Structure formats: C-alpha cells, structure tokens
Amino acid sequence: MRQTFGSATPRISLGLAMVLHAGLACADPPPRFPNEAIWHQNISAAPLHPNSTSMINTLVGLGGWGNGNRFQIDFSLQTYPNAPAGTPMRTVVPHQGSGEYYDPDCEDLPTSMPVPADAAFEGQSGLSCDNDSEDCHLLVRQGNLLYELYSGNYSGGVLNARCLVIWQLNAVYPPEGRGEHCTSGDAAGFPIAPLLVNADEVAAKVGIANSDLGHAIRFVLPNPRMATDASLGGVGGRLYVRPASHAGGPSGPIGTVPYGVRMRLKSNFNMSGYSAAAQVILRTMQRYGIVLADGGNIALTFESDRYTSASWDSLGIEARTFVDVVNGSTPVLVSHFEIIDTGARIGETWNCVRSTVNVPDLIFADGFE
C-alpha cells in the first residue's frame, strides 16, 4: 500500500480536541458495529495462548514488523463517512484487466454501490486508481451499510474490482464472519473501516482520563512472517485463526504468528513519553488488541483525515510516532506484545461457505461512546 501522511493543515487544535464532543458535533462518526461485535470485546484479561512467548520470539527472529522492524503508520486508507440519500449508484464489474472477481466470497454480480463525487480511492485524490499494481480500496458508508471495494478503479461510469463486500453495521456477525474460508476487502475476511483509527475518535478521547477507542485495531505483516502448516490441509500450508475467516498468502514457518492473530500490548508498557493522543491509541492496544488483517510492510493503517474535523497533525500523530524515541518514549516493538488464545488454527481451503448474520432490532447510533 502507498504510504501517505496526514494533512498539513490543522483543522482543530489540541485545545479544541479537549472540548470533546462539542467540538466534533458536526463530524460524522466512523463506521462501527454494535457493542456485542467481536471487535469491541475487551481482551485485557483474556487468557494468553500457550505458545504466546514462542510465537512472539519467532516473529522477532524473522525481523519483527515490516519496513525495517518499524511500527509505522500508513494514512492512505480513507472512508467516506456517510453518503447522502440520492448518491449515484455505480455498477460493479469484474477487474477489467484480468476478469477476476472473488466469488462466492464477495457480493454477487451484477451489483452496485454508492459513489459520491468527492469519494477517493486509497492513496488517491479521486476516483481513479491503478488496480493492476495497487490495492485500490474504496470505502463508503451509507447509513447502516458499509461498502468496501478491493482492487478497484472507476472508468466509463462503472467500477471494476476484484471484490465488493457490503457490511451491515447493525449486525452481529457469527465467529466465522461473512463465512468460513471467505475473504473480503481484507485478506483475513475482516471489515476494514471499523478497525481503522480515526482522527475524530482520537480527538474525542484526548480529554478523558484513561480513555481508549473501544475497538480492535487492524495491522499487517509481510507474508513471510506469517505461519504456514502443511499438516492442516490448507492450500500451500495456508492457515488462519479467529477472528479471521480467510488467509491470503502467508509463507512463514509454523512457529510464527498466524493470519488473524489478536495481539495485546503488555499492560506494563511504558507510555509516559507519549502524547495524550498516542496514549489513547496505546491503551486501546492493551484493552482491545491489534488483529492481523493482511500482508504488507507498513504495520498500522490509520484512516486518512480527508473527511474528518480533526487532523493528525493537530493531534501530533505522524507516520513514525511509535518508531522514534521522543521525550523518552519507548519505540513499540513486537516483543512488547503478547498473543491471546482465540482458538485452533484452521487450514485455508479457499472453499468459501457464506454465513448468515443476526441483525438486531435497533437503530444505529450516530455518535461516539
């Protein structure tokens, strides 16, 4: 994925962020699932996996985080916060270069999604993306529906893509998500936007002592650092663990971390040298963890501040916030994490079996917790 940085033009100051909700009342909230969703499970006291230490040590030995073992942030993913009624619906067709579309994992074709005129693909300023060489995600929320397009481009009035997934934000998905062995816009089968860190949600928590974001955070690793095991019967030894429902192309040794792993920042991590905004994010990693969503080199993916009221610059968050030693801060390393037990490893057959979801009789709350 292309690395970009937060806007250089601050839109709210840290002082205004301290005012909390009043200062952010005009901003649409980021898309989130009901509190019962697995992503909102507080794992601060969850049991460790019996092989937590050995898996962490193996990952460290393989090089740790990608991009030179840096816990770096990519700001290129952008979520359109809430497409208004009447937004044009655009037809989705298979990737024009290869004719490839992931079926039955993704939505049946023909289908369509709302595309606001000012929406933008990942790392782009508009609706054009080189989906032969880039990930090219397009993320658009409209009410209770979240549209996540992967490997897409908009041309000639249509979208061509390798996958479109429509998530129901008022649904409680089963343990296998959208279905066993089913991918999504992310290789692990995860939703993307609900696992991103959003500038407005961080700004809303800065003035609250001991606060966190209340949801797990997406991260990625290079494929050679993710586990494989031929004995599980998966294609090429590929495997995953819950909360994942799919594995992309892991190619690492059996003893390292698997696709979908949920890692928790240790409770004794020294965050005293970090800013208030960074501490909100670190506490979130201690209480809700980080989940391995895809293969790639830049570990963390935060939402672009293109559509938010707060900017990353105003919050003091930049690409190397958790990498560089500033004011005595401790760089965040793989060894500062531990692995919770989320169940057995599952061999990836790529034979997707779609699941059904439970949609509660509730109205999606447009606001922060």
Least-confidence region, from 2-11, 84-93, 293-302:
2-11
Query: What is residue 271's predicted lDDT score, i.e. its pLDDT?
Result: 94
- Determine how β-strand 300-301 pairs with β-strand 73-74: parallel
Query: What is residue 98's predicted lDDT score, i.e. its pLDDT?
Result: 86
Query: Helix %, strand %, coil % for the chain, to 5?
Result: 20, 20, 60
pLDDT tens per residue, range 219-236: 999 999 999 999 999 999
Query: What is residue 13's predicted lDDT score, i.e. its pLDDT?
Result: 37
Query: What is residue 143's predicted lDDT score, i.e. its pLDDT?
Result: 96
Q: Residue 309 half-sphere exposure, CB side, CA atoms within 13 Å?
A: 21
Task: Determine what percent of the chain is predicted with pLDDT higher than 70.
Answer: 90
User: Rounded to whole angstroms, how far apart are CA atoms 264 and 133?
Assistant: 33
User: Rounded to whole angstroms, how far apart are CA atoms 146 and 166?
Assistant: 6
CB proximity list for 326: less than 8 A, separation 6 or greater:
273
Element of type H or E holding 221: strand 217-221
Structure tokens given for 224: 């050679």
∠ Cα 291 293 298 (to 5°): 95
Q: Is the pLDDT of residue 23 over 80?
A: no
- Higher-confidence position of 227 and 29: 227
User: Rounded to whole angstroms, how far apart are CA atoms 60 and 252?
Assistant: 13
Query: What is residue 327's predicted lDDT score, i.e. its pLDDT?
Result: 82
For the question of whether the overall pTM of this predicted structure is more than 0.75, the answer is yes
Query: What is residue 27's predicted lDDT score, i.e. its pLDDT?
Result: 64
Torsion of CA 323, 324, 328, 331, to 10 degrees: 20
SS3 185: coil
User: Is it true that the peptide bond before 10 is cis, omega within 30 degrees of 0?
Assistant: no
pLDDT tens per residue, range 84-139: 999 999 999 999 888 899 999 999 999 999 999 999 999 999 999 999 999 999 99
Residue 245 and residue 186 in contact, taking contact as beta carbons nearer than 8 Å: no
User: What does each C-alpha distance from 363 to 33, 37, 56 come to in angstroms?
Assistant: 11, 15, 41
User: Rounded to whole angstroms, how far apart are CA atoms 157 and 258?
Assistant: 40
Mean pLDDT estimate for the chain = 90
| Residue 87 DSSP code | P
Structure tokens given for 67: 């991009």
User: Rounded to whole angstroms, how far apart are CA atoms 259 and 296?
Assistant: 12
- Determine how β-strand 158-161 pairs with β-strand 89-94: parallel
pLDDT tens per residue, range 309-367: 999 999 999 999 999 988 888 999 999 999 999 999 999 999 999 998 876 543 333 33
| pLDDT, mean of residues 186-207 | 98
pLDDT tens per residue, range 133-172: 999 999 999 999 999 999 999 999 999 999 999 999 999 9
